Chains A and B, each alone.
Chain A
Amino acid sequence: MNKGTLRQILLITDGCSNHGEDPVAIAALAREKGIAINVIGILSQNEAYGEHGLKEVEDIAMSGGGVSQIVYATQLAQTVKMVTQKAMTQTIHGMINKELTQILGDEQQMEDLPPEKRGQVMEVVDEIGETVNLEVLILVDISASMDDKLPTVQESLIDLSISLNSRTGNNQFSIYAFPGKKQSIEKLQDWTPQLDTLAKTFKKISTGGITPTGPALKEALGLFSDKRSKRKLLGDYDEYVEESGS
């Protein structure tokens, strides 16, 4: 099986979108492109579960084939890591189920196998999860209400990088914030293998009440394919140079 690269968007927000395209629709589009969307909804300290309009958080992840979780800021580090890893396993599991159906037919999936066989398949899932390359684009809501949560967000992203870089597979991270000043999203960190020290901290941007989650997601999707095609071009170019050199 071709291991390739898993791609994820990790959306961290504390509220509902209120501007532009429907984020749930964009998430469905992402899934079609093979990009899983995970969403973490952050609650304020005095907020109870279910009080806020965080149902959208679940809807986006469901539609985007990812994982969602609603937490208080204090639990963020553990959650960011858990959500990312779970989504990886889920995607790999999905790939494997597809293969199983092809091999065994009759819509047979991992869950239908006897426990013994299931264990063997799971070892393969774990093995791929350990070695597969991963690209995570982190999309952080920096609307006014997120202000006091941003330091925690930053810390948990560094923590995520520690976890993922303990794997054998390669990682690429990038961080974008929304809403941006001019465009719908703003780059904070270009693709990098490690988030040891975040060069740029989240800038305090005092915006109005708009949360354009849909447009932000849409633009983030473009950043994957852009990068890929650029890389391809660069790759081809390199090869060309080498060939002419030899």
Chain B
Amino acid sequence: MMNTSKNQEVNVPIGSIISGKWNQKQYLILRELGSGATGTVYLAKYDQSKVAVKVSRDTLSITSEVNVLKHLSKVQGKTLGPSFIEMDDWVTSSGTVPFYVMEYVQGESLFVFMRQRKDEWFGILLLQLLGDLAELHNAGWVFGDLKPDNLLISGPPPKIRWLDVGGTTMVGRAVKEYTEFFDRGFWGMGSRRAEPSYDLFAVGMIIMNYAYPKRFDKKEGGWTQLKKLIDRNRILGKYRPILYKVFHGQYQNAIDMRQDLLELYSGKSAAKTTNTPTGKPAAQAYQQSQSGRAGRTQQKKIKKRRHFMETVLIFIFLFVFYVVYLMGQTL
């Protein structure tokens, strides 16, 4: 009944068939999608369609997770997390293994997606994320373990989706699953009580992570360290007022933060900076592509110059040799 925690991982070889004891459905395991603290997620085939199957030895946490997924699919309107399909037990020779099946969300993780896109996409995805968070919060839940790895960009058209809802917690309870870098408790800037401002802090840290792709270690911690890092970074310049507010817990809900971001991306910045009507990010992007083109022509020029230098050098060498040869002859 009470066992000490053992390795929760269950290794399911590719090509095996997981069959449920209660619902009698069979899933063909295609490949591993990822594994976390509570179990391993596999891509599987059921009836010609692809699904994601999470397998774990830890009945308790997997059951908790299913509860969350079910609640989320009850949130009306948008699909917030991956939609839940079913939960079952797989009877194997080495014991019963609980598993659950959910929708397979296909896409790229946030920062992989951003690698090939221009800056303004990041803003759009943030707006989408905050909109979804607002709905989740209104339904009485907090995401908890919010981080780039848990965000997937599906589409086209690109749309931000949540991948792992294992940390999702009822408002008012304690957040149990989180990642230190994105956790305000870790930075000494608040509790781990599930409230909208907890998620918004993590959104702030996602912006920080965007500016510091390698992240950073906790040194003195707290606002002192974060403030330094914000003020020092060029990308974060425009986000500064929003980051100041969010790290001080001054946004009561996701809508307020979204509103500030929306203003940042549209009206205000256009007036401040360039004469292009599309606003700052687009102007920047334009400049970037311009400089890209300029860069290429410059490279060609450098190549030409190098050829020229080579010829000159060869002539000089030949001349010197000739002079030495002549001197040798005369001596």
- Measuring CB to CB, which residues of chain A are less than 8 angstroms from any residue of chain B? 58, 61-62, 65-69, 77-78, 82-83, 85-86, 89-91, 93-94, 97, 109-111, 114-115, 118-119, 122-123, 125-126, 130, 159, 162-168
Contact = CB atoms under 8 A, between A and B. Distances in A.
B108 interface: no
B311 interface: no
17 contacts: A67-B5, A77-B186, A110-B59, A115-B86, A115-B87, A115-B88, A118-B59, A118-B63, A122-B64, A122-B67, A162-B185, A162-B192, A163-B174, A163-B185, A165-B191, A166-B175, A167-B174
B273 to A, nearest CB: 41
Contacts of A162: 185, 191-192
Contacts of B66: 115, 119
Contacts, number: 80
B191 A111 contact: no
Nearest to A121: B63
A115 B2 contact: no
Nearest to A31: B2
Given A119-B63, A122-B63, A109 B180 contact: no
B275 interface: no
Interface residues of B, number: 32
Contact of A66 (B4, B63, B88, B176): B4
B101 to A, nearest CB: 11
B22 interface: yes
Contact of B5 (A68, A94, A166): A68
A231 B22 CA distance: 50
B10 to A, nearest CB: 15
A89 B172 contact: no
Nearest to B193: A166
8 closest pairs, A vs B, by CB? A166-B174, A166-B192, A115-B87, A122-B63, A166-B193, A167-B174, A162-B185, A166-B191
A104 to B, nearest CB: 15
Contacts of A77: 180, 186
A114 B1 contact: no
A91 B5 CA distance: 13
